[in-house]
């Protein structure tokens, strides 16, 4: 169907730019189809600092993959055919997974004892060891078909004995998966090769798709468990820093209570402490959040297994949760301590600001009182100066009138200058005082206008 025909048949509004990408996300990582018996070789590596181009270059070293391009890996999922075998590449936020499905070696059946599964790898020699990144999980999952016993303790004990011999007689944990459809057995030990061994026993007739789903859930469960535990060393390393910061905050609070230090000294200490806590928060918030997310995925994958116990052994989920829960509680407690410490520093800063505001208010009141006193003195001085000014102006006015009277006497007018000037002094004083008051009134009215 060409674009014009597709447009002609379309009866919906134009697609959102992300519609197809989000819709196809449900098909992004389909489960493998595994024909039993099979060996699944799984490696998960941290991909920090590793580009798709580097991973593509490494995948090109596989037989028949010389034409692989980085554009084919943009979807974060790729399945490659290696002759009769398959390899699945998946890139996640923090790690990349490589899953190789190959036939199970003939000497690795249920009657074997601690088989050397790495001797039958189909990948080129050294290829696994040169995968770019740092290994976080490596599992060799052997999947066999066998008649599962009836739900009787004796029959189940015989099969468990055979499974335990497959692990070299070591202690194992096991579960019935899918409500009793198949068995999963492991010892959670790292082999000298660096791999964990996991054994899955399924009844004859198990479909390839169901085997693929079992494989995917078990491999994801172990990967997410290890990724969740990456927060534990971080929490342990952060614990002394948190204890020191809490003690320092308690000391600062005590100094605030006893008023044994200046506000500036307390402020400097609080700023230094807050900066350290914020740095720790920025460095560890992502790791703690990722730990919570991975722990939730572990819980979800355990629920999807629909486990039933096998008499005499712990289930995988029970074993994991008993050992994972304390670690997750430690991480959660450290994250809570970090958040609580930040909040307590904020409250201490608010208290210190209140104390500084009170001191500043007292200083402002003292300054205002001094200003008020100064204004009162200035007013008294101004009144005194105004009185002197009135006297001086009146003196000059009376002097001018005296000269005027003398001039009139010289002109023949019957005037006695000194008597006339003396008689006009009260009038002059009143006129000058009145004029001064009117000037003050005008200035006050101008100052009151907005």
pLDDT in tens, 41-86: 999 999 999 999 999 999 999 998 999 999 988 888 899 998 888 9
Please check the confidence at residue 430 and state whether its pLDDT lies above 80: yes
End-of-domain residue from the set 308, 340, 365: 365
Predicted confidence band of residue 5 (pLDDT cuts 50, 70, 90): very low
| H/E segment holding residue 39 | strand 38-46
Residues 124 and 190 in one domain: yes
C-alpha atoms less than 13 angstroms from C-alpha of 153 in its C-beta half-sphere: 3
Residues 263 and 388 in one domain: no
Please check the confidence at residue 4 and state whether its pLDDT lies above 60: no
The answer to whether position 7 is within a domain reads no
Phi, psi of 247 (to 5 degrees): -65, -40
Residues 398 and 325 in one domain: no
End-of-domain residue from the set 365, 381, 401: 365
Residues 40 and 115 in one domain: yes
pLDDT of residue 27: 66
Spell out where 73-154 has E strands: 77-82, 85-91, 95-103, 134-145
- What is the C-alpha separation between 422 and 405, in angstroms, rounded? 11
Residues 394 and 314 in one domain: no
34 neighbors 143 (Cβ within 8 angstroms): yes
pLDDT of residue 31: 73
Predicted confidence band of residue 446 (pLDDT cuts 50, 70, 90): low
pLDDT of residue 366: 84
The answer to whether position 289 is within a domain reads yes
- 76-80, 161-165, 374-378, range with the lowest pLDDT: 374-378
pLDDT of residue 412: 79
Predicted confidence band of residue 1 (pLDDT cuts 50, 70, 90): very low
- What is the C-alpha separation between 292 and 228, in angstroms, rounded? 7
- What is the C-alpha separation between 102 and 82, in angstroms, rounded? 10
- 133-137, 250-254, 276-280, 412-416, range with the lowest pLDDT: 412-416
Nearest of 154, 209, 218 to residue 183 by alpha carbon: 218
The answer to whether position 60 is within a domain reads yes
The answer to whether position 351 is within a domain reads yes
- What is the C-alpha separation between 246 and 31, in angstroms, rounded? 49
End-of-domain residue from the set 156, 189, 215: 215
96 neighbors 133 (Cβ within 8 angstroms): yes
C-alpha atoms less than 13 angstroms from C-alpha of 405 in its C-beta half-sphere: 17
Nearest of 99, 76, 77, 102 to residue 87 by alpha carbon: 99
Residues 314 and 382 in one domain: no
Q: Can you tell me whether residue 140 is helix, strand or coil?
A: strand
Residues 341 and 428 in one domain: no
pLDDT of residue 222: 94
Residues 437 and 385 in one domain: yes
Token reading at 445: 């009215």
Please check the confidence at residue 239 and state whether its pLDDT lies above 90: yes
Query: Which ranges of 204-262 does DSSP label H, i.e. alpha helix?
Result: 208-228, 231-258
The answer to whether position 12 is within a domain reads no
- 31-35, 225-229, 335-339, range with the lowest pLDDT: 31-35
122-131 residue pLDDT tens: 899 899 999 9
Phi, psi of 282 (to 5 degrees): -65, -35
With tokens 């105004």, the residue in question is 386
The answer to whether position 14 is within a domain reads no
Residues 92 and 201 in one domain: yes
Please check the confidence at residue 404 and state whether its pLDDT lies above 90: no
The answer to whether position 21 is within a domain reads no
Domain count, the chain: 3
Please check the confidence at residue 6 and state whether its pLDDT lies above 70: no
Residues 52 and 163 in one domain: yes
Is the sign of the CA dihedral 248, 253, 259, 262 positive or negative?
A: positive
pLDDT of residue 397: 81
- What is the C-alpha separation between 137 and 146, in angstroms, rounded? 28
Q: What percent of the chain has pLDDT over 70?
A: 93
Domain residue limits at 269: 231-365
The answer to whether position 310 is within a domain reads yes
Residues 156 and 173 in one domain: yes
311-362 residue pLDDT tens: 889 999 999 888 899 999 999 999 999 999 999 999 888 888 887 777 778 8
Task: Summarize the confidence of residues 276-285 as an average pLDDT.
Answer: 92
Q: How many helices (H) and strands (E) does the chain have?
A: 9, 8
Residues 346 and 434 in one domain: no
317 or 404, higher pLDDT: 317
Contacts of 139 (CB under 8 A, 6+ apart): 40, 41, 42, 195, 196, 197, 198, 219, 222
């Amino acid at each position: 169907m060409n674009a014009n025909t597709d447009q002609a048949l379309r009866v919906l509004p134009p697609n959102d730019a992300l519609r197809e990408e989000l819709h196809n996300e449900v098909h992004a990582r389909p489960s493998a189809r595994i024909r039993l018996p099979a060996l699944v070789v799984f490696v998960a590596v941290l991909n920090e600092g590793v580009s798709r181009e580097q991973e593509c270059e490494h995948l090109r070293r596989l037989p028949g993959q010389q034409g692989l391009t980085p554009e084919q890996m943009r979807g974060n999922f790729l399945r490659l055919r290696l002759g009769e075998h398959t390899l699945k590449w998946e890139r996640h936020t923090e790690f990349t997974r490589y899953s190789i499905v190959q036939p199970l070696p003939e000497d690795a059946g249920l009657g074997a004892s601690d088989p050397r599964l790495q001797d039958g790898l189909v990948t080129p020699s050294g290829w696994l060891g040169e995968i770019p990144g740092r290994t976080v999980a490596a599992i060799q999952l052997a999947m066999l078909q066998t008649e599962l016993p009836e739900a009787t303790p004796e029959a189940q004990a015989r099969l468990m004995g055979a499974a335990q011999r497959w692990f070299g007689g070591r202690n194992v944990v096991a579960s019935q998966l899918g409500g009793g459809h198949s068995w999963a057995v492991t010892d959670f030990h790292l082999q000298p090769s660096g791999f964990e061994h996991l054994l899955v026993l399924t009844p004859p007739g198990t479909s390839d798709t169901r085997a693929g789903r079992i494989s995917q859930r078990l491999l994801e469960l172990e990967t997410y468990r290890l990724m969740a535990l990456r927060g534990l060393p971080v929490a342990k390393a952060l614990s002394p820093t948190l204890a020191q910061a809490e003690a320092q905050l308690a000391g600062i609070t005590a100094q605030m209570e006893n008023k044994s230090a200046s506000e500036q000294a307390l402020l400097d200490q609080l700023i230094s402490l807050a900066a350290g806590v914020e740095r720790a928060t920025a460095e560890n918030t992502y790791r703690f959040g990722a730990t919570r997310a991975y722990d939730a995925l572990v819980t979800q994958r355990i629920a999807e297994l629909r486990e039933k116990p096998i008499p005499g052994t712990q289930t995988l989920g029970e074993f994991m949760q008993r050992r994972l829960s304390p670690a997750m509680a430690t991480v959660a407690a450290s994250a809570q301590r970090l958040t609580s410490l930040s909040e307590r520093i904020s409250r201490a800063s608010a208290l210190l600001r209140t104390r500084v505001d009170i001191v500043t208010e007292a200083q402002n009141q003292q300054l205002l009182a001094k200003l008020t006193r100064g204004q009162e003195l200035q007013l008294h001085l101004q009144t005194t100066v105004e009185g002197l000014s009135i006297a001086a102006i009146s003196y000059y006015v009376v002097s001018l009138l005296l000269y005027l009277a003398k001039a009139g006497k010289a002109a023949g007018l019957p005037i006695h200058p000194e008597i006339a000037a003396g008689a006009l002094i009260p009038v002059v004083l009143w006129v000058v005082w009145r004029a001064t008051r009117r000037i003050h009134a005008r200035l006050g009215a101008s100052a009151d206008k907005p």
